[in-house]
Structure 1
Amino acid sequence: MTSAINTVHNFQTLMTALGVAHVKETSPSKGNAVNSSGVNQQVKCGTDPYRICSDGERTNHLTKLAGKWIGEGKEIQVVKLMALGWNASNTPPLDHDIVTSTCEGILRTHQNNHPVARVGGDISLLFDLNEAKVHNMICNPPPQRKWLLNDCLPYGKVGMIIAPGGTGKSMLALQLSVSLATGDKFVDYWEIGEVGASLLLFGEEDTEEIHRRLHNVVASLGQTSPTKISDIESRVHAKSMTGIDNQMTRSLPAGSVTLTDYADRLILTANQITNLKLIIIDPASRFRGGNENAAEDTTRFVESLERVCQQTGATVLVLHHANKISQSAGEANQNASRGSSAMTDGVRWQMNLSRPSKEDARKSYGIPENLRHNYLLAAVTKNNYGPPQNDVVLMRGEHGILHVSNEHLSTPKPEEILIALLKSETAAGRVYSANAFEKQFGGEQKTFKMGILAVRKLINAAIARNLIQKQRGKTGVLKIIDPPIQNVR
């Protein structure tokens, strides 16, 4: 591509060779014919291919140019050539890769919005079957899993944080972005697995409020090194998106929902960030259209989030409001999200933030009633790729900054409950197969406060760590290994 540009004496020669006349932008006037949309028919305003752009306006103008040329049916290689030629005159020019990736992104958006109609009933393959062959999966070990939060939040997946309004989920998102930038523990509890940059889009908070909250988060770190401050400045990107159309999906007159070009525009923007690890969408209601209670409409929104995740490689966390039933029940579970359960079904990880109930505050955590409003319960209620997590009590400090409440970290881990329960049941003469055990003790209202599948995962993890074993084959009785065999790493 670069060599092709070098063979052209200048941009004017290139455009003439491609049959593009040098016609500058003009505004609608008496001497210019204007169509019903108010656009000059001679040349659309905002798409002058000879306009020289400075920093801050280059990407926007490139997007308009590429969209115009692709809409005219030009081949993508020609569009890239024209875009690179235009870019060479800018002060300064954009990076070569940004220009080409922008053109490719606009092409994908155009193809999504203008699918090729079937002709004569012909259909094409869904995908190349060679892409589904499992030879490499069998012959090679899988890549090591990466974590944003070690053994808790997986890297490169779509997740969700659910909380009632005003509980602090936006503040928690800012604190997470700062921890990713510095490598410091998140809320002084979770270890950071991937240090890097983040992009936070706030649909309900204006710039002044974001400024205030981020300033307080950084101030809460106390005396810190200039290097850490520099890392936060370069790696945290926060933008107020209030007052504009942010919908990734939109309702159609017929009642169905379609994807907009918002995800592609977000991908183009996000891919300019070096070492991007996290994208925050806050809240879901400001970034989706359709019926919140419809599974199909909700699934289209999750698919849009997945597309952003796949194209950027970052973890995408969407912040969402809890439903009224979960707020009154005071118990964290997967069904706490407002609207269709397809939201929870679609994401791979979910954390619930809630205020502890009066009973839990008093009996489980010893929190006085007059101080209960200062605490939040963070419960990971869905974790497809990691072990079961303990609920974590967070204390709201000055300016709403959240930190782990150290005096309330004595809650036993699920595996500790498993071992203790097996010991007591064995001592009482009761034995269980794995299937019988998970049925007896699995369930949101039973011992582990988790579903049967989660208890099964807990048993398998304990077997893998040589804490327990099955005495007789697949359906054998569970038995504690005492002392446990230490895995050799």
Structure 2
Amino acid sequence: MNSIDFAALAKPVAMQLFADKHNTKMSSANELRFGSNGSLSICLKKGLYKDHESDTGGGLKALIERETGQDGIEWLIQNNHIDDTRGQGKVSDSSKISHKANRAEYIYTNEDGEPLYKVIRAHDRQGKKSFYQNGFVNGQFVKSMDGVTPVPFKLTELSTRTSEPVYIVEGEKDAERLLNGGLLATTNSGGANNWKPDLNRHFESRDVIIIPDNDETGRKHAIKVCENLAEIAKTIKVVHLNKQWRKMPEKGDVSDFLNAGYVIEDLARVAHDTLLYGVPDAREWLSDALITDDMLNTTPPARQHLICGLLPAGVVGIIGAPGGTGKSMCALQMSISIACGAAFFGHEIERPCKVLYLSAEDDKEECWRRLNSFVTSNSINGWKGNEEPIDAELLKQNLFIKSLVGESFLLTQAEGTGVAMPTCEADNLADLVAQIDNIKLIIVDTYSRFNGGRENSNEDAAQFIKACERLSKKTGATILIIAHTRKGGRGDVDDLAGGARFVDSSRWAATLHEYLSDEQTLKQCEKQGIEFSEAKRHVCFKVVKDNYLGIKGNTIYLRRSEYGGILKEHENMLTVIGESAKQTKAVNQYDELCEKLVTFLRERNANKDYITTSKLKNVYSGKVGRFGVSDKVLLQVLERAIDEGVLFKRPMKPKGESLHVTADEAV
């Protein structure tokens, strides 16, 4: 675009944007005011604005962009404030410098203004730039920089204007442009990425504002300057102008920014709003926290399951059990099911995927022996007796068993008596796993071997879960931690080692428990002819924590088979024992009541006092009755005694039937 007179455009543009807010009482010939309190002012002489309410200001182009969200030049053209002359004549558009001299010299001096060296910028006929540096020796410039120590450009200004912030730009041309605008600006000789440590001392305790060019080289240069001045400068800001000028071209610089219609006040405002170097930007941090239209108007994706209806995907969970219960075998069995896509105790696997089993308790040979149990039996698990054969090809493709026995591989580590914190091994593991496609489950066996803190410390346990969450986030995998539970527990959530924070910090937890192991139950087993060794084979897999699926309390009853401890689904032995005990009790009760009933009938019949069924029920049943049982139980015994021929019924006159003992009639 040709040069734009923003001052002349200030009034028509302001009236178009804010006509309904025009404050005529506070406006004057040189200034327009808008808002009930006149908080927005437009300087008609300079084409600048000042928002007193937000304490911001700048040029007319920046104001247009703030109010419309459009590029300022585009908006002026669309609203017929200026003609579109882009691409016409010798003058380039507003993003380009209008004229470049064929040769320019920039002299670098010491604090007293004495020459030290100069930088020469030249352009050939094709417009290609070249730079030369000449040292100043014995009163004249020479084509050598031997013995010359680099200094910042305009060092005299820098050393005298000590209270002002220092703008560090790329190139002498840009520095002079800002100096002419009233800002204190400097640069280094040699271009981007040529910042020398000798320059650092000149910025001690200064407020530094770095403005890189809009390209990768410029961004790297800004980082290098920050690293050099981080311990020297008072404050550092890095101003990326493309955040204000959305259409800033690649390689654009601060001069291009000003040529595009922005003014020095816009630059100062952007610098003021920029956070200090090293301070996180809350706006960027919250960028993924915004509530979007999609979140309000569409249905979110369904939660993914690793094991349908049992284990959600992408969480950190725990499987806990006392030593020797078979928790590692259970974890391996789950790993094989997921690797092969075979159901895990009746729960379908959505699709076969890769599993990494990290074993810190069992060496490679022991892991091999356990795996061989499945291969030998050619089954993964049973669902009501139906076997699930192993797909050997999928198993080889998807299951990785890494033994770390004897290695110091800690996901957390405590220094002295402090809280254990995530280690570099945790990040290294995440980087390794991230290189393997489709790993969806990582087994960490066991918590005590991978935890460098105190096993029952709440704080250390929470940090261990945090390390596993980082691993899950980086890899997208579900992390299952195999942990111990206290001896004598009943498979409840409180039995898990690691303290309350261990379970609280996880999203899912299950226990494996020998549910026939307490003394009273073992006595019941013995009464039913179940040997101790058989009782110990029966375990239950119980979900004791679940944040997502609503399955807390779900229990799967299992039996460790003779094939190396492979778990098979089995009926609940407590139910079996209970039913058996009921049957035994019923048999004993029948024999006792039948004998009493026979004696009772003999007595009554001998005295011609015959008993009918209704009389037996109404007169002699109940806890206080002759037999001490309910009418229901008494009638069941009577019915069975008649069926078995112990008793029989004889018709009575005029009606009814009396009860008699069959053996007495035979005599």
TM-score, structure 2 normalization: 0.41
Please name the residue that 2:568 is paired with. Answer: 403
Please name the residue that 2:370 is paired with. Answer: 213
Please name the residue that 2:280 is paired with. Answer: 124
Question: 549, 555, 569: which one pairs with 1:391?
Answer: 555
Question: 320, 330, 333: which one pairs with 1:175?
Answer: 333
Matched, 1:185 2:343: yes
The separation in 2 between residues aligned to 1:159 and 1:142, in whole angstroms, is 23
The structure whose residues are more often strand, as a share, is 2
CA contact (8 A) 1:394 1:405 kept: yes
Alpha carbons of 1:311 and 1:242: their partners in 2 closer, same or farther (altered >3 Å)? same
Matched, 1:346 2:505: yes
The separation in 2 between residues aligned to 1:317 and 1:147, in whole angstroms, is 14
CA contact (8 A) 1:392 1:409 kept: no
Alpha carbons of 1:374 and 1:137: their partners in 2 closer, same or farther (altered >3 Å)? same
Structure 2 counterparts to residues 329-340 of structure 1, below 5 A: 330-340=489-499
Alpha carbons of 1:373 and 1:226: their partners in 2 closer, same or farther (altered >3 Å)? closer
SS of residue paired to 1:253:
coil
Q: CA deviation at 1:125?
A: 4.0
Q: CA deviation at 1:225?
A: 11
CA contact (8 A) 2:363 2:405 kept: yes
Q: CA deviation at 1:222?
A: 5.0
Q: CA deviation at 1:252?
A: 1.4
Deviations 1:408-443 (A, max 9, x none): 5979xxxxxxxxxxxxxxxxxxxxxxxxxxxxxxxx
Please name the residue that 1:314 is paired with. Answer: 477
The separation in 2 between residues aligned to 1:361 and 1:119, in whole angstroms, is 76
Please name the residue that 1:143 is paired with. Answer: 301
The separation in 2 between residues aligned to 1:361 and 1:312, in whole angstroms, is 45
Alpha carbons of 1:208 and 1:120: their partners in 2 closer, same or farther (altered >3 Å)? farther
SS of residue paired to 2:391:
helix
The separation in 1 between residues aligned to 2:432 and 2:538, in whole angstroms, is 37
Aligned Cα root-mean-square deviation (Å): 3.1
Q: CA deviation at 1:369?
A: 4.8
The separation in 1 between residues aligned to 2:233 and 2:541, in whole angstroms, is 54
Matched, 1:200 2:357: yes
Higher-RCO chain (CA-CA 8 Å, sequence separation at least 6): 1
The separation in 2 between residues aligned to 1:369 and 1:255, in whole angstroms, is 49
The separation in 2 between residues aligned to 1:289 and 1:228, in whole angstroms, is 38
SS of residue paired to 1:160:
strand
Please name the residue that 1:293 is paired with. Answer: 456
CA contact (8 A) 2:342 2:388 kept: no
Please name the residue that 1:449 is paired with. Answer: none
Q: How many residues are matched?
A: 292
CA contact (8 A) 2:340 2:398 kept: no
Partner AA of 2:567 in structure 1: L
Partner AA of 1:204 in structure 2: E
Identical aligned pairs, as a percentage? 34
Please name the residue that 2:468 is paired with. Answer: 305
Q: CA deviation at 1:258?
A: 2.5
Q: CA deviation at 1:181?
A: 1.8
Unpaired segments of 5 or more residues in structure 2?
Answer: 1-192, 194-229, 236-275, 381-386, 577-667
CA contact (8 A) 2:379 2:390 kept: no
Q: CA deviation at 1:342?
A: 0.8
Please name the residue that 2:313 is paired with. Answer: 155
Alpha carbons of 1:119 and 1:287: their partners in 2 closer, same or farther (altered >3 Å)? farther
Unpaired segments of 5 or more residues in structure 1?
Answer: 1-74, 76-115, 412-489
Partner AA of 1:231 in structure 2: L
The separation in 1 between residues aligned to 2:558 and 2:522, in whole angstroms, is 12
Alpha carbons of 1:361 and 1:198: their partners in 2 closer, same or farther (altered >3 Å)? farther
SS of residue paired to 1:199:
strand
CA contact (8 A) 2:412 2:451 kept: yes
Alpha carbons of 1:307 and 1:362: their partners in 2 closer, same or farther (altered >3 Å)? farther
Deviations 1:93-129 (A, max 9, x none): xxxxxxxxxxxxxxxxxxxxxxx99997974345622
SS of residue paired to 1:400:
coil
The separation in 2 between residues aligned to 1:226 and 1:118, in whole angstroms, is 68
Please name the residue that 1:283 is paired with. Answer: 446
Partner AA of 2:472 in structure 1: C
The separation in 1 between residues aligned to 2:522 and 2:471, in whole angstroms, is 39
Question: 391, 395, 401: which one pairs with 1:228?
Answer: 391
CA contact (8 A) 1:180 1:196 kept: yes
Deviations 1:151-173 (A, max 9, x none): 11101111000000111111111
CA contact (8 A) 2:510 2:542 kept: yes
